[in-house]
Amino acid sequence: MMWSEKYRPKSLLEMIGNEEAKESFVKWVANWTRGAKPILLVGPPGVGKTTMALLVAKQFGYDLVSLNASDVRNKQRLEEILNPALGNLGLLGKIMIFVDEVDGIHGRADFGGVSALLQILKEPTVPIVLAANSESSDKMKDIRKASVTIRMMPIPPRLLRLYLESILQKEGESLRVGTLIKLVLDSRGDIRSMLNSAQALVGGFEPQTEKSFETTDVESAVNAFFKARSRDEAMAILFSLRMDPQEKINAFYSSIITSHLSKNDMSEMLDIVSEADILYGRIMREQQWRLLRYLDSILVKLYRKDAAVRYSQYNLPWPLITRLRWDGKAIKDLETALSRRMHVSRSSFATFYLPYLLRCVKNKTLEMDLDPAQTEVIQKELSSAK
């Protein structure tokens, strides 16, 4: 079981840091009356916004109706979920609404979500708690106006160290002081990330070197993945490679297709990359971010002991890239020069004129006064057209 879940605080007293914010929040819930402005908890990830809402709801006897970032939160969906809760108060008992990551309501999938939420915020009949990582975006302006903001700050590093040491003590584990301090600093005030990293370290990931791949570049990570001694080590590298999922897939794709592999290996690996790409496409299309956790489980299937795959940034063979880059530039220069002479745009020249020009030059029906570089480009084009 993940430590972040196992040691999730059971009461507000078990949480560390942001004591004033907690007190203000408790006061707000204790004094809540119908029509009171909703509360907006703003703070970086892992400082305890969600935990605080869950604990306070439990301690004050509220049933929490919660919407998080993995739910589709467009106008229709918000009304479907929240209107019954707001309209049947007698039937449902004491209800508190919690909308997590409210700054993440955007895009086509959540169309109309913010305006629908604002409508509900204007006349709250139940306590409404919103949580956001940031309050600076434009769409947050209206939400901020309609609510009371409580800011939560990252936890000071020494307090994090104290907390981590208490957890390690409960688990009967220990880490070297240097490692402990590195974990605390890398977490940047995020308790959840600190506990996850500590658990991974204690569990045997990267035990020899204590080197984290989080700080290394994609090249080192992809190379380390294919050089890993075991599937578990490869999985640990994948987990710690924190980058845009699409870029992660692209890095593996370009590395595989430019490596010298047997046809079967190449085909199997490309199937796996394709599977990962389909999953990510579905995540983006349907905004089902909860599926993202399966991406690494798919990509780890690429691992083969001693696979001859090394990182490559480019997804085309090098000779082709060189030709595209340098010959493309030379042709572009030629097109620019000649389009001016013909009084047409460069794209028109390239589309309609250049093929005829090449044919005329080939048939020697046209003589043009070109400089040697341009003549060379035309000759090269003619030879490649053969």
Partner 1 sequence: MSWRSIPMKFPGTCTVCKKKIEVGEVALWAKGLGVKHQSCAEADVELDCAVCGGKAGCNQCEFMDDCDRTKVSQLCICKKCYEAKDSIVLYREAVSRNYKFPPQ
Residue 24 beta carbon to partner 1: minimum distance, rounded to whole angstroms: 10
3-state DSSP assignment of residue 312: coil
CA angle, residues 121, 125, 126, in degrees to nearest 5: 90
Q: Which neighbouring-strand residues pair with 296?
A: none
- How many whole angstroms separate alpha carbon 305 and alpha carbon 223? 12
Residues 187-216 that bind partner 1 (CB under 8 A): 189
Nearer to partner 1 by Cβ, of 149 and 216: the residue is 149
Q: Smaller CB distance to partner 1: residue 11 or 363?
A: 11
Structure tokens at 345: 């745009």
- Least distance to partner 1, CB of residue 40, Å: 15
Q: Per-residue x/- mask for partner 1, residues 251 to 290, rule CB under 8 A?
A: ----------------------------------------
Which one of the spans 56-64, 211-219, 280-288, 364-372 is the region binding partner 1 (CB under 8 A)?
56-64
Asked if 338 contacts 353 with a C-beta cutoff of 8 angstroms, the reply is yes
| 3-42 binders of partner 1 (CB under 8 A) | 10-14, 16-23, 26-27, 30
Strand order in the sheet with 39-42: 63-67, 95-99, 128-132, 39-42, 148-151
Interaction residues for partner 1, span 298-357 (CB under 8 A): none
Minimum distance from residue 158 beta carbon to partner 1 (Å):
6
Q: Where are the beta strands (DSSP E) in the chain?
A: 39-42, 63-67, 95-99, 128-132, 148-151
Q: Which residue has the tokens 């703003």?
A: 42
Q: Number of residues interacting with partner 1: please give it, by CB under 8 A.
A: 37
Residue with tokens 């490309």: 270
Nearer to partner 1, 150 or 377 (CB): 150
For residue 239, give the amino acid letter: F
- CB contact burial 93-115 (16+ within 10 A = b; e otherwise): eebbbbbbbbbbbeeebbbebbe
- Kindly state the smallest distance separating residue 157's Cβ from partner 1, in Å: 4
Q: Helix H segments across 123-189?
A: 138-145, 157-171, 177-187
Residues in contact with partner 1, shown as a per-residue x/- string from 123 to 162 under the rule CB under 8 A: -----------------------------xxxxxxxx-xx
Stretch that binds partner 1, among 177-185, 244-252, 300-308, 367-375 (CB under 8 A): 177-185
Tell me the closest approach of the beta carbon of residue 117 to partner 1, in angstroms. 25
Q: Are strands 39-42 and 128-132 parallel, antiparallel or unpaired?
A: parallel
Q: Which of 18/339 has CB closer to partner 1?
A: 18
Q: Kindly state the smallest distance separating residue 257's Cβ from partner 1, in Å.
A: 42
Q: Sort strands 148-151 and 39-42 into parallel, antiparallel or unpaired.
A: parallel
Give the interface with partner 1 as residue ranges (CB under 8 A): 10-14, 16-23, 26-27, 30, 47, 56, 59-60, 152-159, 161-163, 165-166, 181, 184-185, 189
